[in-house]
Structure 1
Amino acid sequence: MTTPVTRPRTVTARIDTAVGSAPAPAAYTATVYINTHRDKFDGYQPHHPLAAATRRDDSALSLVFHASHRINGHEAAAEAAFEVGNHQGADANGQTWPGDIRPVSTGDVIKVTSPDHWIIHLRVDPFGFTAVPEPTTLVALAGDRVTHRH
């Protein structure tokens, strides 16, 4: 003998988001710190003063790179920032390197924040990058002048 079994009803719903509200692509952000020490090209040392690269209006210059097969980690994002910082293209938002700031070079530091919010500071070496502690000696860029931040 068989006994009838009642199955609970399953409801499936599809929730559409509003048109034009697609999620933003995962992105890496990079901030370049220019080494202002007189021996800057010998490499970054923790006591060297660094100045965050800024736009002409002194607002923060934050480079954005969408995560992709090319930009798939902190070092790849730092490499992309290095390229932009040497006038070799633009970031994902079309932002290029300001003409009044010297190109990114050995001894500078690039702060990279990943899509999952992990932050790493990478020293620019002659070939590649090396992770370093967060810099503590920050100064402000003012045109071609550098002044200490209080």
Structure 2
Amino acid sequence: MTTTVNRPLTVTARITTTDADADGSAPTTPDTYTVTVYMNTHPDNFGGYQPGHPLAAATHPDGTPLRLVFHASTRIHDHEAAASATFSVGNRVHADDHGQTWPDDIRSVSVGDVIKITTPDHWTVHLQLDPVGFTPVPEPTTLVPLTDPRVTHRD
């Protein structure tokens, strides 16, 4: 004997989202360090960053922000390791974890520049590049367009 059973209709689907974050960048996974480099355009930038120095965010040729991405791993385990990896990319030694390299039309990352790092737990840290290592600094307030000739040329 057969019995009829009414079941609700169900649909199974895989949904791939391509939504961008609020700033227009690609969405990140929770296990990544996302980095933006601010180039110090002050005439004395090699003397170190001082609050109020004009900074220009590194961008792609079309003007969109250049965001480097590093996956949390044994190599990239904290914000300072992400900053070191950023320095390496910014000096054209390596690429980030998505294969992105430093643009040819922007100078190398150097002393006095500021690195903004968003950690996997969504903390944001700003670090100044020192002659050796990094120093935490307050969030920069003087941002300028990336047009300064001290920045938009290759070393």
TM-score computed with the length of structure 2 as normaliser: 0.77
- Secondary structure of the residue aligned to 1:92 is coil
Q: Which amino acid aligns with 2:99?
A: G
Task: Point out where structure 1 has 5 or more consecutive residues left out of the alignment.
Answer: 1-16
Q: Which amino acid aligns with 1:71?
A: I
| SS class of match (2:35) | strand
Between the aligned partners of 1:124 and 1:39, the Cα distance in structure 2 is: 14
Moved over 2 A (4+): 142-146
Larger Rg: 1
* Counterpart contact for 2:33–2:119, Cα < 8 Å: yes
Pairwise CA distance, 1:142: 3.1
Q: CA deviation at 1:143?
A: 7.4
Instruction: Answer yes or no: is 1:116 the counterpart of 2:126.
Output: no
Alignment correspondent of 1:58 = 63
SS at structure 2 position matched to 1:112: strand
Q: CA deviation at 1:47?
A: 1.5
Q: Work out the percentage of aligned pairs sharing the same amino acid.
A: 65
Q: Residue 140 of structure 1 aligns with which residue? A: 145
* Distance (whole Å) between structure 2 residues aligned to residue 81 and residue 34 of structure 1: 13
CA distance in 1 between counterparts of 2:30 and 2:139 reads 27
**Structure 2 residues not aligned, in runs of 5+:** 1-12, 18-28
AA matched with 1:85: G
1:94 partner amino acid = G
The match for 2:136 is 131
The one-letter code sitting in structure 1 at the alignment partner of 2:106 is I
Q: Provide, for residues 55-79 of structure 1, a one-character-per-residue CA deviation record: whole Å limited to 9, x for no partner.
A: 1111100000000001000110011
Q: How does 1:1-150 map to 2 (within 5 A)?
A: 24=29, 26-142=31-147, 144=149
Q: Which has the higher strand share?
A: 1
Q: For residues 145 and 40 of structure 1, what CA distance do their matches in structure 2 show?
A: 10
Question: RMSD in angstroms over aligned alpha carbons?
Answer: 2.3
Matched position secondary structure for 1:137 = coil
Q: Report SS of the residue matched to 1:76.
A: helix
Distance change >3 Å, CA 84–CA 123, structure 1 → 2? same
Aligned residues: 129
